[in-house]
Structure 1
Amino acid sequence: MTTPIPVRTPLPASLAGSTVLLLGGSSGIGLAAGTLLRQVGARVVLVGRDPERLKAAAGHVRAAAPSGEDDVLTAAGDAGDERTLDQAFERAGEVQHVYSTAGGIGGAGLLKDLTSESIRETLAQAAWRPFAIARAAAARLPAGGSLTFSSGILVERPMPGMSAPLTAAGSVEILTKALAVELAPSRVRVNTIRYGRIDTPLLRSLPGLDSDEGVAAAGADAPLGRVGTAQEAAAAALFCMANNYVTGQIITVDGGESLA
């Protein structure tokens, strides 16, 4: 008979001493997650494409809870590349939790304007990344470990010109439910957090949102009157890691935006 998943306190403090692999951890929500995890005593491994940004991110996370150099590690590369994932896991050693904010939505355009090649490329790149991450994690995570993905509320509230990228982005939510069932016998949990507008460098790269005033204006019509902070978004990931009775769920963190 398979041993039940252990009961433990679901508070973030239970993550102390664990190792968390953060894919897309050099900025935004991933970086905020790294900071929160260090504050509760977790060991963090940041993965991102840009070595210089990773170095700066590691310094930021390390400053949140100064300790040994080994408490914040980095691995440079694309999180959708299996070699990068292998190297990151090898560098980390034993990993208890994996959280991915890696990727982005590209390939936008009206269906009539998209080429078959651009659609294939968008679907192949964006849909493959979660599978690559899941394959690497499933082979290594221990019982009681967790894998958390990220999604966005545009999957539920699409707009014209986003059919290809949202099809790819939405596939992670189906994958989450399928893997939660498939990996349940090994006592590995899988969840996804569906985010609304969060104040990150990615949001501020959009037209009209490159200033505090622009971001404030963008959130003014939301139920809570503002966009979310990166730490508010990242806190949901710590919940998914710490709570051993949550799996197969799509948790929305959007300040009520999807209800407006």
Structure 2
Amino acid sequence: MTHPLFSLAGRRALITGSSQGIGLALAAGLAEAGATVILNGRDPERLARAVETLRAAGHEAGMVAFDVTDGGAATEAIDRIEAEEGPIDILVNNAGMQHRAPLEEFPEAAFDALMALNLKAVFTVSKAVARHMLPRGGGRIVTIASVQSALARPGIAPYTAAKGAVANLTKGMAADWGPRGLQCNALAPGYFDTPLNAALVADPDFSAWIARRTPAGRWGRLEELRGACIFLASDAASYVNGQTLFVDGGMTATL
């Protein structure tokens, strides 16, 4: 039986970038805790398949396809959900991308695209949802940060910059919106076996480095992110605001 502090029964959650990987895993976790989940992405067919997977498991799930980097489209979609389906109680900002290149060769267009999806979209989607949450005096915003919010590796400097900014934007949201009833926190995964990391998972040298560098001695499993997300989205985190919770097997705690 779920402890009542962690129950999400009767709540509606919008998860961006949730047709696969971390986003879909988090959506499944929130649904398991009782939430009705709305998946988001740009590919309606892929979203529909993900929704069917959740429904087959007995969960309440729907979908809304829009590009989170388009502020107008995001606002229109969120306003429509609020008007036609009901309040969005929980927002999980998960949509993101990676581009690897030496910093001196990093394409400007790739930098701009990465910042638009990993950082600006967090601002635009959070603002669009907060416009509805604030008059109600409550809501939960969980933004997906990264170990790269605190650490850097060669070849991904712009990603590191974006995820560092995401952690600080989360603090800013808590400062602005916390006094009006919103809890805004970040969840920072370590190295997880996801489609975004497929090339790294397939590299035996990198996987060996993960095993040596991480006290847990392995890649993270997607289901290991669910509990942290449920916590931050639930009443159990009612006095937690502006924080970044690292779920990284101990990587950021060790040298």
TM-score > 0.5 by shorter chain: yes
Residues 177-226 of structure 1: per-residue CA shift (max 9 Å, x gap) = 1110100222011111111011222222x14x249x89975643221122
1:232 partnered with 2:227: no
Residues 147-179 of structure 1: per-residue CA shift (max 9 Å, x gap) = 110111123221223222221222111111111
Is the 8 Å Cα contact of residues 17 and 41 (structure 1) preserved in structure 2? yes
TM-score, length basis structure 1: 0.84
2:31 equivalent in structure 1: 38
User: 67, 75, 86: which one pairs with 1:78?
Assistant: 67
2:9 equivalent in structure 1: 16
1:180 partnered with 2:174: yes
- Residue correspondence of structure 1 range 101-112 to structure 2 within 5 A: 101-106=94-99, 108-112=100-104
User: 160, 180, 187: which one pairs with 2:154?
Assistant: 160
Structure 2: which 5+ residue stretches go unaligned? none
Is the 8 Å Cα contact of residues 193 and 253 (structure 1) preserved in structure 2? yes
The number of residues matched between the two structures is 243
1:250 partnered with 2:224: no
State how far apart, in whole Å, the 2-side matches of 1:90 and 1:184 are.
25
State how far apart, in whole Å, the 2-side matches of 1:151 and 1:160 are.
18
Range moving further from structure 2, 56-65 or 144-153: 56-65
Instruction: Determine helix, strand or coil for the equivalent of 1:129.
Output: helix
Q: CA deviation at 1:62?
A: 1.5
Q: For the aligned residues, what is the CA RMSD?
A: 2.4
User: What amino acid maps onto 1:220 in structure 2?
Assistant: A
Instruction: Determine helix, strand or coil for the equivalent of 1:80.
Output: coil
1:50 equivalent in structure 2: 43
State how far apart, in whole Å, the 2-side matches of 1:93 and 1:40 are.
19
TM-score, length basis structure 2: 0.85
User: What amino acid maps onto 1:81 in structure 2?
Assistant: D
Q: CA deviation at 1:134?
A: 1.6
- Describe the shift of the 1:110–1:183 C-alpha distance in structure 2 as closer, same or farther (beyond 3 A): same
Higher fraction of helix: 2
User: 174, 188, 191: which one pairs with 2:185?
Assistant: 191
Structure 1: which 5+ residue stretches go unaligned? 1-8
2:105 equivalent in structure 1: 113
Task: State, as a whole percentage, how many aligned pairs show the same letter.
Answer: 31
- Describe the shift of the 1:12–1:102 C-alpha distance in structure 2 as closer, same or farther (beyond 3 A): same
Instruction: Determine helix, strand or coil for the equivalent of 2:188.
Output: strand
